[in-house]
Amino acid sequence: MSQSFRDLPRAIAGMGWGRQLGFVVGAVAVFAALFAVFVYLQAPATVPLYTNLAEPDAAAVVGKLRELKVTYSITDGGSTVRVPNEQAADLRLQLASAGLPNGSGVGVVGMEVFDRSNLGITDFAQKLNYQRGLEGELMRTIGRLSAVDQARVHLVLPQDRLFAAQQRDASASVVLKLKAGAKLTDDQISSVKFLVSRSVEGLKPENVGVVDTAGTTLGKADTADGARDKQASMRVEVQHQRELEIERKVQNLLDQAIGKGRSIVKATVALDWDVVEQKVETFSPGTLQPQTRSQKDTRESFAGQGADAQAAAGGVPGTQANIPTYQAGAAGGAGGGTSSYQKSEVTSNYEVSSDKRAISRAPGELKNVGIAVMIDQAVQNIQAEQLTQAVSAAVGLQPARGDQIAVVTVPFDTTMSANLAKTIEDETAQARQNDLIQMGVKAGGLVVALIGLALLFRMLSASIRPAGVAVAGGVDGAGLLPDGKGGVAALQTPEAIEAQISALMSGDGAELPPHVLASMAPEARAKYETARVRTRQLSPSERARRREEVRRLAMEQPALIGETLSRWMAIDSAMAGAS
């Protein structure tokens, strides 16, 4: 191989101009194909460092990468910066430590404005810096939303007044640049207003205005009408979700029973949005007897005899009872005898039994449900009654509440579904075909490049292979090999090898034994005799050249030469043994 490449310049120089041109074109084509296959098959060496960058942010990131002396590339119109894959993670950390990208472009200042102290700053400048820093932080935060590309925030912070009646409310304006195809819902706009209002002292959500770069006001105004509209929209959404939930539950049931695409389910629900609060008080619930709350039992008892006992027990409470003369007169007028006095008094207070309940019913309670089920008529052995019972049990229908269900069988139009299935199948087949074509292009390019390389190598090998030894030597220049040429084509048979060796040996003054000549083929023997006659007059330099040719021939065809010499030696040994 090394000898062949060393002889390459000589081989190219020996070509005609046409072959030289073909060789150059072929080499260029092969190397171009190999380069194209290498570039096409190799994995990308770079990955996106940041995407969807604003122009100021992209400029800041690129400037930092140049400062770090990092190789980069810019794509997607300058919004994407790509760096080598193995450096991406480290570069993100370095840029983050430098505050890049800040999300809103160069010139946006956050609270880092206070990182540097300035002793000579005025109070007005200090307040202005605080407002700038607050606006910058809000811009960065809002710019992190997935649908927002850029954001601008303007705050109006009125000065504090001595009297509350003169104090003005703070306000804010937010300008949003949305990404392509992105849209913010009313709830998301309300979230932006809530974020801004909670970030600024004294700012109310209704004092925050949000617009886009087209000048369109985003979100609804925070008024009573807006609140009612939002509530109505919320109710419709809840009703729609309840209907979808019922439809999904029934559809899954029917798909497992009769197969997919064989049924259609639609549901309608009515919700009660009234806020109901009830207070119920029941007296003596369940014929429960009244319970004793309190009870008082008073008892008096007196027993005695004689006038003294009667006098002691007599009299009315008051002044007269305390006058002895009166008591004595009363006692003297009364007769004697045994006396007894008893008094008993019981007072009971009863509590009336009652049951008090406060009932609050949340809005959105289900009033009634209506379900319609259509089944393809092509389905065999449809039992509508059993399906009705199954669907009613799965959903929990209550006829007393007014719930309804209808199950009917109708012929389905399958044209649309068939077309859709065919379209999906065609797209899948096309995608598979594209994948195969892409793989074929890759494999074909590689195969063509390899074939071209093999052909080029073969052409080079044929061109730089040394020519066969010419043993022509005579005065007329005629060679011993066919057509007077050397080369591999003439050295492929043992007879030709044998003829050439014998001719070279004769040119060097060597004579072959008669028994060797006798074993040679007629053609080889004839050529040997001719060469022996023609080479007797060779000069010493010519004989040296013949010896060099024998050496080269041995290097080119060692196997055949070894076989020839071995045969000669075997013949010589056999003749020696016979003698």
Whole-angstrom CA distances from 545 to 95, 416, 504, 508, 552 are 76, 91, 10, 10, 11
Q: Render 187-214 in DSSP notation, one character per residue.
A: HHHHHHHHHHHHHSTTEEEEEEEEEETT
How is residue 257 written in tokens?
């029973």
User: pLDDT: is 571 or 188 the higher one?
Assistant: 188
pLDDT band at 520 (very low <50, low <70, confident <90, very high): low
75 beta partners: 80
d(CA 218, CA 190) in angstroms, rounded, equals 9
Residues whose CB is less than 8 angstroms from the CB of residue 264 and which lie 6 or more positions away in sequence, other chains included? 373, 374
C-alpha 256/C-alpha 279 separation (Å) is: 47
Model confidence at 481: pLDDT above 50: no
Give the model confidence (pLDDT) of 15-63 as tens digits. Answer: 566 666 766 777 777 777 777 766 665 555 678 888 777 777 788 888 8
CA distance 281 to 387: 45
Residue environment code for 301-323, b if the CB has 16+ CB neighbours within 10 A, otherwise e: eeeeeebebbbeeeeeeeeeeee
Counted residue by residue, the chain has a size of 579
Nearest C-alpha neighbor of 507 from the set 463, 464, 475, 538: 538
% of the chain exceeding 70 in pLDDT: 66
Tell me how far CA of residue 73 lies from CA of 53, 84, 458, in angstroms.
14, 9, 42
* pLDDT tier, 488 (very low <50, low <70, confident <90, very high otherwise): very low
Binned at pLDDT 50, 70 and 90, residue 534 comes out as: low
pLDDT digits (tens, 9 = 90+) for 120-179: 788 888 888 888 889 988 988 898 888 888 888 999 988 888 887 888 889 999 999 888
| pLDDT tens, residue by residue, 80-118 | 888 888 888 888 888 887 777 765 554 567 777 777 777
HSE-up (13 A, CA, CB side) for residue 314: 22
Q: What is the pLDDT of residue 111?
A: 77
Enumerate residues 6+ apart whose C-beta is below 8 A from 160. Answer: 167
Q: What percent of the chain has pLDDT over 90?
A: 10
The string of pLDDT tens digits covering residues 257-314 is: 888 888 899 999 998 888 878 887 777 666 666 777 788 888 887 776 655 444 554 5
More confident residue, 199 or 338: 199
On the question of a cis peptide bond just before residue 48, with omega within 30 degrees of 0, the verdict is no
Whether residue 508 contacts residue 531, with contact meaning beta carbons closer than 8 Å, is answered with no
- What SS3 state is found at 569? helix
Each residue of 69-108: b (16+ CB within 10 Å) or e? ebebeeeeeebbbbbeeebeeebeeebeeeebbbbbbeeb
State how far the alpha carbon of 323 is from the alpha carbons of 316, 317, 332, 373, 572, in Å: 11, 11, 14, 106, 191
DSSP secondary structure string for all residues of 313-344? H-S-TTTGGG-HHHHHHHHHHSPP-EEEEEEE
pLDDT for res 84: 85
User: What is the mean predicted confidence (pLDDT) over 216-231?
Assistant: 73
**Residue 12 confidence (pLDDT):** 61
